[in-house]
A and B are shown apart, each in its own frame.
Chain A
Amino acid sequence: MPETILVVDDDLDILELLKMNLEPEGYTVRTASDGDGAVQSACTEPPDLILLDVMMPHKNGLQVIEELKNIDETKNIPVILVTARGQTDDKVLGLETGADDYITKPFDLREVTARVEAVLGRTRPIKYINPLKRAMGEGFSEAGLQQLAGHLEAAAAIQKKLLPDQAPSLDGFDIANLIQSSTSVSGDFYDFIPLRETQIGIVLGDVKGNGIPAALLMVMIRTALRLLCHDEPTPAAILKRINDLVARDTEADLFATMIYGILDTEANTFTYANGGHCYPFHYNSRTGIDVLKTGGMLIGAFEEATFTYGACHFDPGDIIVFYTDGITETEAAEDTTSDTSTHWEQDTSALFYGGERLANCLSENTALAPSALCEAILTDLAQFSGSTQTNDDRALIVIKRDI
């Protein structure tokens, strides 16, 4: 997931310039044109870094820092101050107030990028501290939490390497995938495994539970799958083997949901087995959207679980969408979390994005290529939730047969 930078300056030209310079580097850039806007923006959705002009009317950059340092959610956000040449007092004051670095105007754009990257590299583990505190209670020292945050950052980096960046290119098919992790290590995972020249194994899964144990389980499942997929003949047999392995070796409250299937680009078929995972959607131009409902028990909870397998045929232009529940469980923009006790009868479809809306989004965008379809779904999610951020991991795989 791209890191977000909040750029704050009362000079709109500078805002635009910095935005144009930072976005191609892969950052998501938000802007605010005054101090109050900056504080509000940072509190609503804490960015990964703030580039903050010092000289602003009403509330200057130093006051902004002071305010942010007093709020739990924002106090650890790294800040780079942008000062005019010669304002040495500001620099000293700024660093004393808690800024992480400063840049002097007029600045060299390459310097801005370099400083942003340096500060982010140094402070990346810090973003784990607040979630860790929430998860572990207040009994841990700041130093202990920082060490743990460092370990988490390292684990997250290893985990990212295990997820393929790009779907393989196949004759007659186009595949796109997308993953967005929330702040901690990801529970969602996917993999593409070449089996034969015309066959590829595709898995999308979601390890339930949190943090490092969940990440380790994901690594275990991924490794087992890579080893087993060449031996076992059917997706159902593979899920059974993985289930037994996980059920025997792990605690009861660690489990996963996953779909594993084989795409055959010669027969134009997808055969799959589903271990308790959200049902995928299959779009066909004649019959519309169908839910692939061959199901099975979630993986790793019960040794006695059994799995069946389903199959579907790809006509030209057909699409299959796999997703994790981080997509369908995305909450609506309004604050619906308060006092649910009196509203329990209300229609839950308004509170959560849900499978129906995802199916609608698919049906409206069937002409798009898979990668554009992924983007369309993300845009629809952002519209629904009023935010581009996510509290849960999200993953999507879209497979489309060429027309």
Chain B
Amino acid sequence: MNFETTIGEENISILHVVGKILGNASDAFRKAMELQLQTGHDKLVVDLTEVPLIDSSALGAIVTSLKGYQRSGGKLVLLKPQKAVQEVLEVTQLATVIEIYDTEEAARDAFM
């Protein structure tokens, strides 16, 4: 798994992740999400376009971070999860509490 974060217009950060997020990689994933919040960037788009699969620890990272963003009045949304990831989000019903968008524009609009 690799990732990079870009901070763009309107102070919206985009965390672009590439590869499966499994096992220990979830720690790095969680820290990347939380780092934005800690540095005062409380609008985060997690771009899952290139993530074929996540496991339960990655799911835990998303839940933890989501709650962190909510507590501090910020917002975390997901961008374009692939089929297998979408399935996990649906089975656990995280899809009902986290906003999921198909395009970057739509994800950005969510913060307006």
Contact = CB atoms under 8 A, between A and B. Distances in A.
A329 B50 contact: no
Contacts of B94: 276, 297-298
A277 B91 contact: yes
Interface string B89-109: 011111011000000000000
Contact of B52 (A278, A297, A325, A348): A348
A301 B70 CA distance: 13
Contacts of B20: 340
A192 interface: no
Interface in A271-285: 276-279
Interface in A215-266: 252-253, 255, 257
B55 A329 contact: yes
A206 B56 contact: yes
Interface stretch (B5-13, B38-46, B59-67, B72-80): B59-67
A253 B56 contact: no
B63 A297 contact: no
A88 interface: no
A298 B92 contact: yes
Nearest to A135: B24
B88 to A, nearest CB: 9
B55 to A, nearest CB: 6
A148 interface: no
Interface size class of A (residues with CB under 8 A): 20 to 34
B28 interface: no
Nearest to A279: B91
Interface string A327-370: 00100000000001100111010011000000000000000000
Contacts of B59: 208, 298
A379 to B, nearest CB: 24
Nearest to B90: A295
Given A208-B60, A325-B56, A348-B52, A257 B19 contact: no
A296 B93 CA distance: 6
A302 interface: yes
Interface residues of B, number: 31
Contact of A295 (B1, B82, B83, B93): B93
Contacts of B64: 252-253
A208 B54 CA distance: 13
A297 B92 contact: yes
B56 A341 contact: no
Contacts of A295: 90-91, 93
Contacts of B55: 325, 329
Contacts of B56: 206, 208, 257, 325
Instruction: Report which residue of B53, B56, B82 has the largest number of chain A beta carbons within 10 angstroms of its beta carbon.
Output: B56
A61 to B, nearest CB: 35
A342 to B, nearest CB: 9
A209 interface: yes
A208 B93 contact: no
A340 B1 contact: yes
Contact of A341 (B18, B61, B82, B83): B18
Contacts of A329: 55
A301 B67 CA distance: 9
Nearest to A324: B56
A306 to B, nearest CB: 10
B52 A301 contact: no
Contact of A253 (B1, B50, B51, B61): B61
Interface in A170-215: 206, 208-209
A276 B90 CA distance: 8
Given A209-B60, A344-B51, 12 more contacts: A208-B57, A252-B67, A253-B61, A276-B92, A278-B91, A295-B93, A297-B94, A301-B63, A302-B97, A340-B52, A344-B50, A348-B82
6 contacts: A252-B68, A253-B63, A257-B56, A276-B93, A297-B93, A344-B18
Interface of A: 134, 206, 208-209, 252-253, 255, 257, 276-279, 295-298, 301-302, 305, 325, 329, 340-341, 344-346, 348, 351-352
